[in-house]
Structure formats: structure tokens, C-alpha cells
Amino acid sequence: MKTIYTLLYILSITCCSFGQGVKLAKADKKYEKYAYIDAIEIYEKVAEKGYKSVDLFQKLGNAYYFNGNLDKAAKSYDALFALNEEVAPEYYFRYAQTLKVIGNYEKSNQYMELFAAKTNDSRGKLFLQNKNYLNDIDVNTGKYILDTTNINSEFYDYGPSFFGNKIVFTSSRSDGNQYTKIHDWTKQTFTDLFIVLMNAEGKLEQVENFSKTINTKFNESSPVFTKDGKTMYFTRNNYNDGKKRKSDDKVILEKIYKAELVNNEWTNITELPFSNDNYKTAHPALSPDEKILYFASNMPGSYGNSDLYKVSIDKNGKFGTPENLGPTINTEGRETFPFIDANNNLFFASDGHLGLGGLDIFEAKANGKSFEKPINISKPVNSTKDDFGYIVNGENLGFFSSNRDGGKGFDDIYTFKICTHIISGIITDVETKEILPNAKVTLFDDKMTIISETISSEKGIYQFKIECNKKYYVRASKETYDTNEKSFDAVSTIGTSTLDLELKRNVFPIEVGTDLAKLFNISIIYFDLDKWNIRPDAAEDLEKIIQVLHQYPAMTIAIRSHTDSRQTHKYNEQLSDKRANSTLEFIVKNGIARNRLTAKGYGETQLLNNCSDNIPCSEEEHQKNRRSEFIVIKM
């Protein structure tokens, strides 16, 4: 009898294992065809029966991850790492990302540490370089004022674009969609483009299907339009003229298409020449002069899953060769949904740069033909979920997409205003109360970096536009007056504040040959032994020199640098030249024109004491000779 029970038990286990294997094989086929929702349903049922494996939890986690359901992905990856099996490093990154979504930043950082240790990946390096990145993100919080829009549905709504006084966006809503074909990936209809009028207050009104000639039974999304409204670029599955084409692995990928408006109908739909059946091109964006098209792609040569590229458009509408935006912008993760504002600054979504979780939106300032290091635009635009599809007009009104908690559908479109504040005031004489026109007024941020400069009007008035929730310094200077400076904390609302500055007339006579250090009680700028870098104490004193130069815009000075007597005469001459040039560059960097400065090193030829090679001296005595001086040579 015992033998029979044993055989029955073994048989039940074998049948159960066989049954689970059949289900997993079915789920895997769904997974490989990107039918993630169907795959998730089967994987979850198998897991509920107690079945555990690395492959199961990897695919279940990925299915949730790729569908933007990151909190559920976190549970699957949690189960994966509980098995204590060795997995590919990318899973450490994905797990770290999903942990942010559920607010567990401490554990997320631990897995980013492990990810960085296992790879040479730029995402790991970025984390190691700034483990306190959340503090930097918090600094930028409060720049945007958010609101919901009334165009969201219970489905996917995302990817807005300006089209004159209208907004064109992407949606998988069934109401108004031309077709009822269901996407295996989302279990919703394929996305169409929809259009909505934007009134003078930026509110959106009645939604309509955008175009029967543009929208097809496959996905259309993320359009961009030329300013004249006659040309559009948009994303569509690899389908045109009733024909679909697949990649070598049998997938219909995304391509960028161009269309022209002829007699109020969108026609002449053609795919762009750099698109390809075997890689994605998507989410086009135009530069302000419409000579460059930016887009996302995983074409050969990409750093990660999706990189940002640019391609030139000549006057005949022909395209150049796409150029990758490089490692400053792109990572081994996803960089997508580019947008270029009126000042040529780049906005994009990324999960490779340090963020709050999921896709975050970043800004990279224009710097000539390239871009500076991206900065996370922070809360409230960014959240722990996916935030992307940022656009803004010249009036500081914009829109973006997010699947954050509290939304109406899977993705929703939100609107924002950039919180700007006006600070203005009057410059006057402190004693006579006389209005002072033509005073130079400089705006600094909290790190004393120059933000903007202006000249007071005939009525002594100045004005700056500043961001909300930040600290600033305002400095006023005028020839024959002492400089005055005040700090200002910008409030969190759009509006205007007043900050008046009074200047005191300067009684000191300044003539050619004047030693500024003596006249204004400014310390001589000292250097460390054998060094020419500007020390912190020297930087403070140089700031006084800079203020005097701002106060007297016609003044030209000579920077004279010196060494002590140690080392050879030739060596000291070279060292003093380096000190003089270092001082000059510091002053230029802080806003003084280079043509108002000269710099020369005198080596050990002008010692202030008897500390020559033959006379022993203390370090303090040698220090007096390592200096820079500031002599007025022109007024």
C-alpha cells in the first residue's frame, strides 16, 4: 500500500510539472511575440501554484517592466533575486529602477552599487559619481506648476505636439479610432493621432480624429509639424500604401514618416530615407530653424536600447547622415522623446540618467553645436513612474505625458506653466535719494554665478525674470559709487517683487598708478609654495577686485605676480607668469572683459624683504613674496 501511495505521489508531481511546463511554453511564445499581457496572465498563474525559476521571474518582471507597470515588476524581480541565482547585470539595474517606484531608494542604491561593480556601464558610473543625486534633483523642485487636462481617457494618451493653436496627440481610445484592431502588447486598439483646439488660456477643447489618411490600422504616434503647418513628421509601424514590412525576426518596427498638407489633405506619405526594417526610428523633433531633425533609434552604433540622433535637412528637403548625440546624452538605457525649445535646448526622457524612477525628463542646455550635461527637471513634472513627451511654447506653457498614480488612464497628458517671477527695483543715491540711471545691475544665482546683466533706465529702474523657489543675489555698481549687493529669495508663485538698491558715493580718488590693494584695503593675493591655483582665501579677495572693476568700467589694471627666491631665476619667472595668467583668467571668468587686464610675472626680481638665496628665512617671510598685485594703468 505504501508503495502505491508513493507511486501516486510521484505521478502527481510529474503530471503537475508537465502541466506547468506546457503553460510556460505557451507563455514564452506570447512573450516572444510581445503579447505581454497574455504572457503575464499565464506566468502569474504558474507562480501562484508555487513554481519558481529564474526564467519565470525574469520574463514576468520584464513583461511588467516593458509595459510600464514598474511596481508589479518590482515584485517579480524581488522574487527573482530571492532565488540567489546569478543573473545578468541588467536585472540589477531594472530592479533598482523598480525599487524607486515603490519608494525604496535605499535598497535601489544598494542594487545600483552591485550593478556598477559588475559592469563598466555608464549608468553605473553616473551613480558612483553622484550617490547623493536626489539632493541635486530636490534643488530644481518647484519650477513648474502642473494641472490636468480634460482630454485624457481610460486608455493610453501621450506624445502631444503643437500644431498652430491646436494640440495633436497619441491615443489608443476606442472612441473616434478608425479601426478596432487590438494590439497584443497592450490589449487596446492600436494608437491613432487625435487633434484638439487650444484656447487663449491654454485649455483644450473638443477632441477629434486627426486624419483618415495618416491614421491606419497600426500605430501612429508622436508627430511634429513645421511652422507653416504644411509638413509633418510622425511615427508609424512599418506600414504604408497598404503594405507592411517586418524585420528579420518577424517584428513590425516603428519608422518615421513624412507627410505634406495639400488642399487640406495630408498626402505624399513617405518613410524617411534613414529608416530601416531592422531597427526603430521614432519620435521626431525639429530644431527652431527646421534644419535639423532629432529622433530616437536603436540603429547600429547606438549606446543603449534607444539613443537620440540628429540629422540635417537641406533647403531642398534632403536628409544628411544621422549623427548620434554621444555619451553626454545617451546611455546604455533608454533615451527617447526628444524636444527642442526656442533656445535650442534639448529636453528628453531617460531611464539611464539618474532620476526618481522609470523615465524622467531631462534638460540639456545648448552649447554651440552640442549640449551640456543633462539636468533632471525634477518634481512635480518628474515622478516615480514614467514621465516623457515634454513640449513647451514661447509663452512658458507646456504639456507632458505620465503614467503616474492618480491619472485617468494608462498614460495621461498633463499641462504645466513654468513658474517665473519678476524682480525689479530702482537704483538711487543713498544720501541724496537721487535716481541713478546707467548703473550696471547683475543677477547671480545662489552660487554667485552670473545669470544676467542689465543697465538701469533713465528712471533708475532695472528688471530681471527669475525662476520661482530659488535664491538670488542682485548687485548694483556705478562709476564713482561703492558697489551694493542684496540677496533675494524668489517665492513659489508667478508675480512681481521689488528690490531697491542704494549706492554710496565713493570718496577715494583713483589715478593711474594707484595700488588697489592699498586703496581699498584689499589683501595681496597669496599662493602656496610652487603653486599657481587660486586659493579659497584668494578667491574672496579677488571678488573685491572684481567689484571695483565693475564699479569703474573704464578702468584697466595690470596684474603683477611674484615668487619667493627659492628655485632658479628661470623657473620662478615661469611660475610667476602662470600665477599672473591664473589670476587674469579667474577675473575674466567672473565677468570682466579681457582687454581691461594685463598680466606679467616678475619671478623673484621684486622681493619685499631680504629673503634671497643666501639669507635663511621663515616660511611666513617667504610667503610675503608669493603674491599678485593690481596696479591701475588706465582710467
What is the distance between the alpha carbons of residues 159 and 413, in angstroms, rounded to a whole number? Answer: 8
Contacts of 627 (CB under 8 A, 6+ apart): 524, 525, 526, 527, 561, 562, 608
Average pLDDT of the segment spanning 263-292: 96
Q: Is residue 480's pLDDT more than 90?
A: no
Q: Is residue 307's pLDDT more than 90?
A: yes
- What value does the mean pLDDT of the chain take? 88
Single out the residue of 623, 634, 632 nearest to residue 524, CA to CA.
623
Average pLDDT of the segment spanning 416-430: 91
Name the pLDDT band for 134 (thresholds 50, 70, 90): very high
Single out the residue of 610, 558, 563, 554 nearest to residue 583, CA to CA.
558
Q: Is residue 18's pLDDT more than 50?
A: no
Q: To the nearest whole percent, how much of the chain has pLDDT over 90?
A: 55
CB 508 within 8 A of CB 519: yes
Strands 597-601 and 556-562: parallel
Average pLDDT of the segment spanning 287-310: 96
Name the pLDDT band for 4 (thresholds 50, 70, 90): very low
User: What is 138-203 written as a DSSP string?
Assistant: HHTTTSEEEEE-S---SSBEEEEEEETTEEEEEE--STT-S--PBPTTTSSBPPEEEEEEE-TTS-
CB 61 within 8 A of CB 94: yes
CB 355 within 8 A of CB 101: no
Average pLDDT of the segment spanning 134-139: 86
Q: Is residue 541's pLDDT more than 80?
A: no
Name the pLDDT band for 525 (thresholds 50, 70, 90): low
Q: Record the pTM.
A: 0.74
What is the distance between the alpha carbons of residues 427 and 436, in angstroms, rounded to a whole number? Answer: 6
The predicted structure's pLDDT at residue 93:
95
CA 106 to chain centre: 23
pLDDT tens-digit series, residues 188-198: 888 999 999 98
What is the distance between the alpha carbons of residues 398 and 379, in angstroms, rounded to a whole number? Answer: 15
Average pLDDT of the segment spanning 171-196: 84
What is the distance between the alpha carbons of residues 254 and 237, in angstroms, rounded to a whole number? Answer: 4
